[in-house]
């Protein structure tokens, strides 16, 4: 994971099956208990993602929202599993796929 600013991290090491493809996931830190995850990527990379977040001192359970830049599999496949497991709000910037925040 690469720290871009004190509150923004680029999550490195998410490998794309197509050598021409690239995956860029990001973590935004509001505070210790308020994180935003951008494009959680592939489901198979979820354990790596959790480990990266733990390594920098945070817990994936403190991700309060997931934002998808678009809903291609390489950006969004893990989103539903993360949402089901930790119940975060899920948003998409893709106008054809709108996800509403949870209401409970």
pLDDT score for 73: 66
Task: Give residue 96's pLDDT.
Answer: 54
Provide CB contacts within 8 A for 68, sequence distance 6+: 38, 39, 75, 76, 79, 90, 91, 92, 93, 94, 97, 99
pLDDT of res. 26:
86
| pTM (predicted TM-score) | 0.74
- Residue spans of the domains in the chain: they are 2-92
Name residue, tokens 């291609």: 72
Q: Tell me the average pLDDT across 36-46.
A: 82
Separation CA 72–CA 54 (nearest Å): 26
pLDDT-derived band at 101, boundaries 50, 70, 90:
very low
**Cβ atoms of residues 56 and 32 within 8 Å:** no
Q: What is the average per-residue pLDDT within 38-47?
A: 81
Q: What is the pLDDT of residue 75?
A: 67
Domain 2-92 has CATH 3.60.15.10: yes
**Phi, psi torsion values for 81, nearest 5 degrees:** -65, -45
């Amino acid at each position: 994971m690469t720290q871009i600013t004190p509150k923004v991290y680029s999550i490195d090491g998410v490998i794309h099956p197509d050598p021409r493809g690239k995956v860029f996931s990001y973590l935004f830190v509001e505070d210790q208990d308020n994180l935003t995850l951008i494009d959680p990527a592939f489901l198979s990379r979820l354990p790596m993602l959790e480990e990266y977040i733990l390594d920098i001192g945070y817990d994936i359970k403190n991700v309060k929202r997931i934002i998808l830049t678009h809903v291609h599999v390489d950006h969004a496949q893990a989103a539903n599993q993360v949402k089901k497991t930790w119940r975060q709000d899920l948003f998409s910037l893709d106008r054809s796929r709108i996800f509403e925040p949870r209401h409970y």
